[in-house]
Structures are given as C-alpha cells and as structure tokens.
Amino acid sequence: MPLLHISMRAGKPEAYRKAILGGLYRAMREALNVPEGDEFITISEHSPANFRCGNAYSVTRSDDAVLIQITVFASRTPEQKKALYRRIADLLGENPGLRPEDVFVNVLDAPAENWSVGNGIAQFA
C-alpha cells in the first residue's frame, strides 16, 4: 500500500509525467511486490521560484531533479528499499531519460494502523 508524492519543476509534457508515474509503479511492483492496481501516486509541479534542490552529498543535480517520497507499511527490509532505489533510478533513466543524480527518493515507514484506504475504517489494524 505505498503512497507516493512526486515534486518537480513545472513545464514537462504529459508524456514525461506519465513515464515517471509508470516507472515508479513498475519499480514498486518489482522491488516491493506491490499488487496490481495498488497505485496511489500524485505529482505536484512547482515554479522555479518554489522548487529548489541543492548539490549536497556529492550529487550534482540539474533543473530536472524530482523529489519522490514514498510512504509504506513498516515492513520493508533495507534490502528491498535499496532494490527499489536502484530500480527507480534505472527505470526513470530509461524513460523519461532522467539522470540518476536527479532522482531523489525518501521512504517513510508507517505502522499498519496508520492507514485507512477508504470507508472510514483501519483495514490493516
């Protein structure tokens, strides 16, 4: 049940944004065994004045940088997360052509009782 939020600079065409959505979903299916149809992903676009990515941690980022935040059940192993980071960078490199330096990923672990996926109930608690 991952929940993804992507932040990026505004101005990319729809096909570019769709490639990001598709690549992220595919990476989650492959690295985290997310079930088919488990897609909860948003993209927020920001003007250059409202989007800043520095070059900290020996990574030189461009204006194409994307910030990806993924909230998951607190059950993923470090190995699964590492595989996810690699697969995201590889797939987004293939399409829409993002450089690995421009793929910033943050995974947040949330206990199962912190989720309600509809109907006002905690399905996993």
In a domain, residue 121? The reply is no
Residue 105's domain comprises 3-54+61-114
Length of the chain: 125
| CA angle (34, 99, 18) in 5-degree steps | 50
**Annotated catalytic, 35?**
no
Q: What is the pLDDT of residues 2-51, one digit of tens each?
A: 999 999 999 999 999 999 999 999 999 999 999 999 999 999 999 999 99
Dist. CA 81–CA 74, nearest whole Å: 11
pLDDT of residue 124: 84
Q: Is residue 120 part of a domain?
A: no
- Residue 46 located in a structural domain: yes
Contact present, 44 and 2 (Cβ < 8 Å): no
Summarize pLDDT for 38-89 with one digit per residue, the tens. Answer: 999 999 999 999 999 999 999 999 999 999 999 998 889 999 999 999 999 9
Q: How many domains does the chain have?
A: 1
Task: State how far the Cα of 121 lies from the Cα of 3, in Å rounded to an integer.
Answer: 17
Burial label, 54 (beta-carbon count in 10 A; 0-12, 13-18, 19+): exposed
List beta partners, residue 9. 46
0.85 surpassed by pTM? yes
DSSP class of residue 114 equals G
Q: 2, 48, 96, 100: which is the annotated catalytic residue?
A: 2
Q: Note whether residue 104 is domain-resident.
A: yes
Which CATH number covers residue 74?
3.30.429.10
Residue 110 falls inside a structural domain: yes
Give the residues across from 107 on adjacent strands.
70
In a domain, 119, yes or no: no
